Structure 1
Amino acid sequence: MSQEKLLEKPLQQFVVQAQKVKGDELIEVIKQALDCVDTFVFAELLDCPNVVELENTSYAPYLHVLRIFSHGTYLDYLNDKESLPELSTSQIKKLKYLTIVTLANKMKRIPYDVLLKELNVNNVRDLEDLIIEAIYSDVVAGELDQQSGYLEVDWTVGRDVAPNDIDTMIDTLQQWCDSCESVLSTVQARIIDANRTKQDVLKHRASIENELSNVKKAIRAQIQDEEMSVDTSGPPKKSGKGTRSSGNKFWNK
């Protein structure tokens, strides 16, 4: 079973529960979703009508923190911490994991300096321990380049797309499509040139073969003319000198 299918199961459980409860029970479902080690996407939970209705209630801070877990970062939480619910130790760690995922979507080699700032970690030792835990939790796959101070990312889990990222994605996809069209046009032009060159080569070859055939015909005709000239001349005539008379001579005794 694929990694995506495995990650969908716990989320679906929370979505079903959120559709049935409200108030404190709904908040408990949200907390469980934030705590769950196998849940890294929350868009379906955010789309539940009961969850959407929290916006204008005293429970709104839980909706806001759920959005941060969906597509925000740990610094987003710290910047608005006073108005948000306090996170548990496991929730803080999970949000830091997700922050690494967000950074990895922007750069495949993440400098330690960036990670220290974004994760609000004080020293490299704690940072590397956190990254190793994220790797063992199958949130991210990569290698630590301790000498250069980088995290080399190979793979990460997926995250929800932020609403303000949709336009950027559309622009990126449009640029990709334009690039593909440009490449396709170039390939088609080269195919046309190649076909034209092929036709020129075939015409040139046919011309050479025709010329060679004409030369062969001319040579054959010349040989035939020479042979005919030899045949019509007849055998050579013998000289009259040195011939003997066929008459008999008688000698007197």
Structure 2
Amino acid sequence: MAGDPKHNNQLEQFILLAKNTKGPALITLIKQLLEAPGVYVFGEFLELPCIQQMSKGPNEGYSQLLNMFAYGTYHDYKAFKDTLPPLTETQKNKLRHLTIVNLAANMQVIPYSVLLKDLEVGSVRELEDLVIEAVYADVIRGKLDQCRQQLEVDACIGRDIRSQGMGRIASILTQWCGDCESMSASIEQEVGRVSHCRESHLKALQHIETEVGNIRRMMSATTSMSSQDMDPLGEQEGEGAMAGSGAERRQTPLQIISKAKSLNNQRH
């Protein structure tokens, strides 16, 4: 916007020149400042000792004119134009640009009717040309809606502020800080809630994994038992063989001799 370093440097050049200038040369410098493209803030220039002294002398009108560009509007100038120096066409348009900024700071959508009244231009075409100039001067950002006859504002530069308005700004900033603190507390509360939900989710997940492991072990044990139930005969034969072997191992010596004699008789 118009408050970028390039335009600030331009204002600083005028300030440096004014410190070593007085009389008619200072008045000429003020006129040049009011016409300089890109310079739309004047508070720092107004604080210069030479300008403060001018407000009490015969050239008081130029000090008042600077105040008009710093804080006022084109409508204000028209109301006091008989006591103020005349403006060139370039200066009039700059003051009109500042008037648009004044409106844009308070209205996001500005009807053509309001602009025509406050800028005191004779036609819609002239009004639209003036708004386009302000956009190219980078003092406002927005677009003209010719169908609805309105200016839709996206952003605008900040103007100089009187010392009396500092209290209101401080109040707004205090409220803004309070809102930020409330928002921060809400965010922290939400973070805590999310962390609690995450912990609960992890615990539930661990419980599910444990249950799945238990079910798998139960299924494995059931499968093993089913396999044994499907082969009872083999087990019985094995058990019989083992029982026979055991019976043979339990025979007495007399029984063994008797069995041997019997086998020998059968051979003869």
> Would you say same fold, with TM above 0.5?
yes
Letter in 2 for 1:145: D
Tell me, in whole angstroms, the C-alpha distance in 1 between the residues paired with 2:85 and 2:67.
Answer: 13
**Aligned-pair Cα RMSD in Å:** 3.3
Q: Are residues 187 and 138 of structure 1, via their aligned partners in 2, closer, same or farther at CA, if it must alter by over 3 Å?
A: closer
Find the counterpart in structure 2 of residue 85 from structure 1.
85
Which structure shows the bigger proportion of residues in helix conformation?
2
Per-residue Cα deviation, 1:170-217 (whole angstroms, up to 9, x for no partner): 333333322222222222111111111121222222233334444555
Q: CA deviation at 1:30?
A: 1.3
**Aligned residue number for residue 98 of structure 1:** 98
- Distance in 2 (alpha carbons) for counterparts of 1:94 and 1:237: 118
Give 1:136-175 correspondences, 5 Å limit: 136-175=136-175
Task: Return the offset for 1:105.
Answer: 2.0
* Match runs of 1:1-253 below 5 Å: 4-217=4-217, 235=238, 237=240
Range with greater deviation from structure 2 (48-57 or 169-178): 169-178
How far apart are residue 73 of structure 1 and its match?
0.9
Q: 1:46, 1:52 within 8 Å by CA — same for their partners in 2?
A: yes
> 1:26 Cα shift?
2.0
How many angstroms does 1:234 deviate by? 6.7
For residues 27-57 of structure 1, what are the alpha-carbon distances to aligned partners after superposition, in whole Å with 9 as ceiling and x for unaligned? 2221221122232111221111111122322
Query: What 5-or-longer segments of structure 2 have no aligned partner?
Result: 242-262
Distance 1:220 1:195 in 2: 38
Q: Taking structure 1 as reference, are residues 147 and 215 closer, same or farther at Cα in structure 2, changes over 3 Å only? A: closer
Structure 1 segments unaligned to the other structure (5+ residues)? 239-245
Greater RCO structure (CA 8 Å; 6+ sep): 2
Structure 1 residue 158 displacement after superposition: 4.5
Distance 2:170 2:16 in 1: 31
What letter matches 1:235 in structure 2? Answer: G
Please report how far the alpha carbon of residue 232 of structure 1 lies from its aligned counterpart in structure 2 after TM superposition. 8.6
Partner-residue secondary structure (3-state), 1:235: helix
Moved more, 131-140 or 22-31: 131-140
1-structure distance, mates of 2:121, 2:30: 26
Change in CA separation of 1:223 and 1:137 when aligned onto 2, cut-off 3 Å: closer
Structure 1 residue 22: Cα displacement: 2.4
Give 1:112 deviation, angstroms: 0.6
Q: Which residue of 1 aligns with 2:259?
A: none
SS of residue paired to 2:15: helix
Q: Describe the shift of the 1:220–1:233 C-alpha distance in structure 2 as closer, same or farther (beyond 3 A).
A: farther
SS of aligned partner of 1:113: helix
Structure 2 CA distance for aligned equivalents of residues 125 and 164 of structure 1: 38
Flag the 1:157–1:183 CA change in 2: closer, same or farther, 3 A: closer
User: Cα–Cα, structure 1 residues 60 and 214, in superposed 2: closer, same or farther, change >3 Å?
Assistant: same
Relative to 1, partners in 2 of residues 1:201 and 1:35: Cα closer, same or farther, differing over 3 Å?
Answer: closer
Give the length in aligned residue pairs.
241
Cα distance, 1:223–1:3 mapped onto 2, change above 3 Å: same
- For structure 1, which segment, 108-117 or 76-85, has the greater mean C-alpha deviation from structure 2 after superposition? 76-85
Q: How far apart in 1 are the matches of 2:216 and 2:99?
A: 82
Determine which structure has more spread, i.e. the larger CA radius of gyration.
Answer: 2
CA spacing shift, 1:129–1:210, aligned 2, 3 Å? closer
CA separation in 1, counterparts of 2:134 and 2:206? 69
Q: Tell me, yes or no, if the aligned pair for 1:71 and 1:162 is still in contact at 8 Å.
A: yes
* Offset of residue 114 of structure 1: 1.2
Once residues 205 and 132 of structure 1 are traced to their aligned partners in structure 2, the CA distance between those partners, rounded to angstroms, is: 62
**Structure 1 CA distance for aligned equivalents of residues 236 and 199 of structure 2:** 52
